Amino acid sequence: MFDGADTVVLYEELAFQGVLPVLWRPALGPPDADTAAGLAERNHQVLQALDAMEEYGPVEKPDENSPYAADLMRLERKMNLLLDLVGQILAANRPRPAAAAVRFNALGAVWRGTPPLPEAGAQGVLEVYLHDCLAHPLRLPGRVTNVTPDGNVKARFIPLGEPVADLIEKLAFRRHRRQIAGARTRPRSAPD
pLDDT at 63: 60
Give the type of residue at 26: P
The reply to whether 81 falls in a domain is no
- Is pLDDT above 50 for 105? yes
| Alpha carbons 185 and 167: distance in angstroms, whole number | 27
Q: How many distinct structural domains can be found in the chain? A: 1
User: Which three-class secondary structure state does DSSP give residue 48?
Assistant: helix
| Alpha carbons 140 and 152: distance in angstroms, whole number | 17
Give the type of residue at 57: G
Instruction: Indicate the pTM of the whole model.
Output: 0.79
**pLDDT band, residue 65 (cuts 50/70/90):** low
What residue numbers bound the domain in which 168 lies? Answer: 9-60+96-185
The reply to whether 76 falls in a domain is no
**pLDDT band, residue 183 (cuts 50/70/90):** low
In this predicted model, what pLDDT tens digit does every residue of 119-149 receive, in sequence order?
999 999 999 999 888 889 999 999 999 999 9
- Is pLDDT above 70 for 38? yes
Q: Exposed, middle or buried, 90 (CB in 10 Å: 0-12/13-18/19+)?
A: middle
User: Which three-class secondary structure state does DSSP give residue 88?
Assistant: helix
What kind and span of H or E run contains 21? strand 16-26
Most confident range, picked from 16-30, 47-61, 91-105, 178-192:
16-30
The reply to whether 88 falls in a domain is no
Q: Are the CB atoms for 20 and 99 separated by under 8 Å?
A: yes
- Is pLDDT above 80 for 3? no
CATH number at residue 15: 2.40.10.220
Q: What percent of the chain has pLDDT over 70?
A: 85
The reply to whether 123 falls in a domain is yes
The reply to whether 179 falls in a domain is yes
The reply to whether 82 falls in a domain is no
User: Which three-class secondary structure state does DSSP give residue 99?
Assistant: strand
